[in-house]
């Protein structure tokens, strides 16, 4: 059983003046009302296919407290990956607002969104998405390199995380020599290494056997909590969602509370 979340808060658009396009992403972010750490207001997203409009999100609303691990359950095609792409700024919303740490992400232009994502979002994907031509260590230091962190410092930040995921002895190995579970552990280290505001996981156990999936989730849960990070995990697995503090359901374009 599901029930709609409380109705969306009315947002006065005059509170959100447009930003200058040429300013740095961090400086350009509009500061909003300090409420939830992360908040979606009236998120809508449709895709146009020929003369058909496919509505994926329709005035979706949700709030997340700092440090929460929230799972979002939804069947295939319900819009889970779309939602993560909107939060991370890979894709653009049609209307609505996304507030992260008091900042309006929807006010950013494409370049600012890219910079913001690089600095503040960690990603974990179903198919790991490691770069095959880079070693384990190089994969983990890549987010730091993209943010201009010197190599030596990047290495000293990556190594404790590789130790924490049990792969410090595999730093020079290439991803194709690793098992799926090991690859996902590299991806967990990569998602945390640049100290992001938010970790997003898209079906992180979808390509792992049950036991490895459980171990991987337990590790992800422990490390994101230790780091004090918010984790949003989208999945169709009720078992995987069991690790979260709270579970929402994505259905018919809306985020709903999941009832026991
Ligand atoms: N770029 C696009 N153009 C057109 N339609 C799209 C596009 N991206 C996604 N869609 C459609 O939006 C809907 C939601 O897709 P999405 O990938 O978010 O689902 P999902 O919940 O992640 O599914 P799965 O569990 O299979 O990964 C689907 O009907 C999909 O076909
Ligand atoms: Mg998906």
**Mean pLDDT score, 216-233:** 97
> Residue whose CA is closest, atom 18 of ligand 1?
79
CA of 80 to the centre of ligand 2 (A): 5
40/79 Cα distance (integer angstroms): 15
Mutate to test the pocket of ligand 1, among 58, 71, 81, 233 (most ligand atoms within 8 A of CB): 81
15/13 Cα distance (integer angstroms): 5
Q: What's the pLDDT tens digit per position in 148-182?
A: 999 999 999 999 999 999 999 999 999 999 999 99
Checking phi first, is residue 128 left (phi over 0); if not, alpha (psi -120 to 50) or beta? left
Angle at 166 between CA 180 and CA 125, to 5 degrees: 35
- The residues near 206 (Cβ < 8 Å, ≥ 6 apart) are 126, 235, 237
Which has the closest alpha carbon to 235: 125, 122, 73?
A: 73
Task: Check if the beta carbon of residue 204 is closer than 8 Å to that of residue 220.
Answer: yes
CA of 166 to the centre of ligand 1 (A): 34
Mutate to test the pocket of ligand 1, among 44, 47, 53, 76 (most ligand atoms within 8 A of CB): 47
Which pLDDT value is given to residue 260? 63
CA of 71 to the centre of ligand 2 (A): 14
Residues at CB less than 6 angstroms from ligand 1: 47, 49, 54, 56, 74, 76-82, 236
29/34 Cα distance (integer angstroms): 14
- Other Cβ atoms less than 10 A from the Cβ of 223: the count is 20
136/227 Cα distance (integer angstroms): 21
**Mean pLDDT score, 105-130:** 94
122/195 Cα distance (integer angstroms): 8
Q: Using a pLDDT cut of 90, give the percent of the chain over it.
A: 84
Task: Check if the beta carbon of residue 45 is closer than 8 Å to that of residue 93.
Answer: yes
Query: What's the predicted TM-score (pTM) here?
Result: 0.87
- The residues near 110 (Cβ < 8 Å, ≥ 6 apart) are none
Q: List the shell of residues around ion ligand 2, using CB closer than 5 Å.
A: 80-81
187/238 Cα distance (integer angstroms): 22
The DSSP string of 184-199 is HHHHHHHHHTT--SEE
212 vs 13, more confident? 212
Which pLDDT value is given to residue 54? 94
Tokens of 239: 């078992």
Mutate to test the pocket of ligand 1, among 60, 74, 80, 234 (most ligand atoms within 8 A of CB): 80
Tokens of 12: 């006065």
- Other Cβ atoms less than 10 A from the Cβ of 20: the count is 10
**Mean pLDDT score, 58-72:** 96
Domains and CATH numbers, the chain: 68-89+117-258 (3.40.50.300)
**Mean pLDDT score, 50-57:** 95
């Amino acid at each position: 059983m599901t029930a709609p979340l409380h109705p969306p808060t009315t947002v006065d658009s005059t509170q959100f003046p447009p930003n200058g396009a040429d300013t740095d992403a961090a400086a350009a972010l509009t500061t909003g009302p300090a409420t939830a750490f992360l908040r979606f207001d009236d998120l809508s997203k449709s895709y146009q296919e020929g003369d058909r409009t496919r509505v994926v999100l329709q005035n979706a609303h949700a709030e997340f407290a700092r440090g929460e691990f929230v799972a979002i359950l939804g069947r295939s095609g319900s819009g889970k990956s779309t939602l993560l792409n909107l939060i991370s700024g890979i894709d653009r919303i049609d209307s609505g607002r996304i507030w992260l740490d008091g900042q309006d992400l929807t006010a950013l232009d494409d370049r600012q969104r890219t910079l913001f994502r690089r600095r503040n979002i960690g990603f974990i994907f179903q198919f790991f998405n490691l770069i095959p031509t880079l070693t384990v260590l190089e994969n983990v230091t890549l987010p730091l390199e993209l943010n201009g962190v010197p190599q030596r410092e990047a290495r000293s930040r990556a190594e404790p995380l590789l130790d924490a995921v049990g792969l410090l002895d595999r730093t020079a190995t290439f991803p194709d020599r690793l098992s799926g579970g090991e690859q996902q552990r590299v991806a967990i280290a990569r998602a945390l290494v640049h100290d992001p505001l938010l970790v997003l996981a898209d079906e992180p156990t979808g390509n792992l056997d049950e036991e490895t999936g459980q171990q991987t989730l337990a590790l992800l849960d422990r490390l994101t909590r230790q780091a004090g990070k918010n984790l949003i995990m989208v999945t169709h697995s009720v078992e995987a969602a069991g690790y979260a503090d709270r579970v929402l359901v994505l259905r018919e374009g809306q985020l709903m509370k999941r009832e026991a």
